[in-house]
């Protein structure tokens, strides 16, 4: 599984549970040094995710696009952070 896919999975779990073990973040390359910054990025994206209004019956295509955009942007931010340490 690609790192991007792993990060996406972690973010979706985080959005649902608001709690992700550090070990999962370490598995995708987040270091102890960058852990707090990563968690700050995730917390901000959680607020953005929740700010998107979704219909009770499920997200519309436009809402899905907006949710995907938050997920993609956050994944890119985390990848950029990871790559700074490589």
Closest CA to 38 of 26, 47, 49: 26
Q: Is the pLDDT of residue 67 over 60?
A: yes
Torsion of CA 55, 69, 7, 50, to 10 degrees: -40
Q: Over 80: is that where the pLDDT of 84 sits?
A: no
Q: Give me the residue label for tokens 């968690």.
A: 39
**Residue the block writes with tokens 């959680």:** 46
- The predicted-structure confidence for 7-58, as pLDDT tens digits, reads as follows 999 999 999 887 888 988 999 999 999 999 999 999 999 999 999 998 888 8
Residue 20, SS3 per DSSP: coil
């Amino acid at each position: 599984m690609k790192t991007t896919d792993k990060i996406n999975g972690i973010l979706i779990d985080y959005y649902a549970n608001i709690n992700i073990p550090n070990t999962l973040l370490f598995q995708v390359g987040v270091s102890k040094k960058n852990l707090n910054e990563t968690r700050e990025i995730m917390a901000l994206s959680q607020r953005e995710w929740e700010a998107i209004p979704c219909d009770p019956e499920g997200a519309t295509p436009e809402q899905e696009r907006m949710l995907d955009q938050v997920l993609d942007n956050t994944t890119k931010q985390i990848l950029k952070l990871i790559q700074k340490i490589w």
